[in-house]
Amino acid sequence: MSAGAGVKDDRAMPAARVEARPLRALLACALGLMLGCGGGTRAADAGSSPDTSGTDAAALDAGPTEPADLSVATWNLHNFFDQYDDPTTLDDVPSAAAVTRKVNAVSGVLAGLDADVIVLEEVENVGMLDRLADGPLAGMGYDQRILMDAFDPRGIDVGFLCRLPITRIASHSDEAFPNADDTRTWHFARDAPEIFVDVGGFTVIVMAVHFHSQLGGGADQADHRLAEAMQVRRIIDQRVAFGNTLALVLGDMNDEPDSPPLNALLDGDGLMDITRAVPLSNRYTTDFGGVHRQFDFILATPVMANYTVSSSVRVIHGATVDAASDHSPVFASFHLVP
């Protein structure tokens, strides 16, 4: 990897300010975190590191005393738009009836997964997360709905549904970072937000990603995806260096196993691909160019990977999934032990 680009600092958010907090206030809190980290585009540098101010040292020393379980899922919802035109983006504008059908189809699959934390890609706005959590998924506890607006011209973003306490949020949307040969800089196409989740006293970082599309197939797209992967690796490496050894990266990498972006994430002492527990014949998550391909992954730091319940890891296929999206969701659970 080339010299590290800056990782934007984030600020601790007391759990009491996150739990059961009204959505708009939570988003305002998240925006405050983003602004508190410094506005504007940050150039690549080698000295920045995650902020640890506001951490309760005594709580860190005590640590969890009981095992805890966590389940996660990621799913690219493929054009999860509302029926209203956003004049600032090139969004699709489906009919209200089509949106309702899509919400119901997506919800049916998500209800079956029953994951504690769900990472969703290609979501237009937080209102669409509300449509899920307050509609067919009402009663499942998804009180935390987070979505960060980013740079995609169509207005598709990554978001979270979470039913566990969130103690911190970090956005990386304004970070500039170099490509592999340091000839240009990039930003994340759709941010790479992190949430710090309290899982029975364990702090688990969950990062959501959706790397640059392969549509068009140009060299710039491949260069961008590799740069995004390298920056994610820097961020996670710094998190681990500062003691956050339990971390997951979920999402649509828009590239396959053994591609340069995946190798950048996995090489050396990097992340581990949890989806390798799935039989190869069932590991595909989309059809691209008429061929089954795996673009969607759950990656874990080595410490986190040790807690994987291997039998839980699966890619879900079938008619109900196909009716909702052109991607398949990926699911895994973890049993954390002090």
Mean of pLDDT values over 233-259: 97
Q: In whole angstroms, what is the distance from residue 30 CA to residue 198 CA? A: 17
- Token pair, residue 250, equals 């979920």
Q: Domain for residue 242, yes or no? A: yes
- Where would I find the H helices in 47-205? 57-62, 96-113, 126-133
Cβ neighbourhood burial of 192 (10 Å; 0-12, 13-18, 19+): buried
Q: Each residue of 109-161: pLDDT tens digit?
A: 999 999 999 999 999 999 999 999 999 999 999 999 999 888 888 989 999 99
pLDDT digits over 272-310, tens only? 999 999 999 999 999 988 899 999 999 999 999 999 999
The Cα 277–Cα 153 span in angstroms is 36
| Secondary structure element (H or E) that encloses residue 266, with its range | helix 260-266
- Residue 61: pLDDT band by 50, 70, 90 thresholds? low
What would the two tokens of residue 6 be? Answer: 């800056």
* Cα–Cα dist 120/159, whole Å: 5
For 136, other C-beta atoms within 10 Å of its C-beta total 17
Count the domains in the chain.
1
Greatest CA separation for the chain? 55
> What CATH number did the domain enclosing 176 receive?
3.60.10.10
pTM of this structure: 0.84
**Strand positions, DSSP E, the chain:** 68-80, 117-123, 144-147, 157-162, 166-170, 177-178, 185-186, 194-199, 202-210, 247-252, 272-273, 286-288, 291-293, 296-300, 314-315, 330-336
- Lowest-confidence pick of 56-65, 111-120, 250-259: 56-65
> What tens digit of pLDDT does each residue of 3-59 get?
344 444 443 333 322 222 233 333 333 433 333 333 333 332 222 333 434 444 444
- Quickly tell me which residue has 């934007």 as its tokens: 8
- The pLDDT of residue 215 is 81
Residues 6+ apart with CB under 8 A from 105: 320, 323, 324
pLDDT, residue 92, reads 86
Beta pairing partners, 120: 75, 159
pLDDT at 23: 37
Percent of the chain whose pLDDT exceeds 70 = 82
**Nearest residue to 275 (alpha-carbon basis) of 261, 264, 285, 286:** 285
pLDDT in tens, 78-95: 999 999 988 888 888 899
What does pLDDT average to over the chain?
85
What's the rounded Cα separation, in Å, for the pair 102 and 97?
9
> What pLDDT is stored for residue 114 in this prediction?
98
Determine contact, residues 166/193, Cβ cutoff 8 Å: no
pLDDT band at 219 (very low <50, low <70, confident <90, very high): confident
Give 79: exposed, middle or buried? Use CB within 10 Å, 0-12, 13-18, 19+: middle
Q: Are 294 and 283 in contact (CB under 8 A)?
A: yes
Token digits for 29? 């809190």
Q: How far is CA 293 from CA 110, 121, 129, 255, 288, in A?
A: 22, 17, 27, 9, 7
- What number is the average pLDDT over the span 240-262? 97
Cα Rg of the chain (Å, integer):
19
At 87 the pLDDT is: 87
Whether residue 63 is contained in a domain is answered as no
Tell me whether residue 248 is in a domain.
Answer: yes
Instruction: Kindly state whether residue 5 falls inside one of the protein's structural domains.
Output: no
Question: Is 101 a member of any domain?
Answer: yes
Q: Would 185 be classed as within a structural domain? A: yes
51 within domain boundaries? no
Residue 107: which domain range? 15-43+69-336
Q: Considering the domain boundaries, does residue 9 fall inside one?
A: no
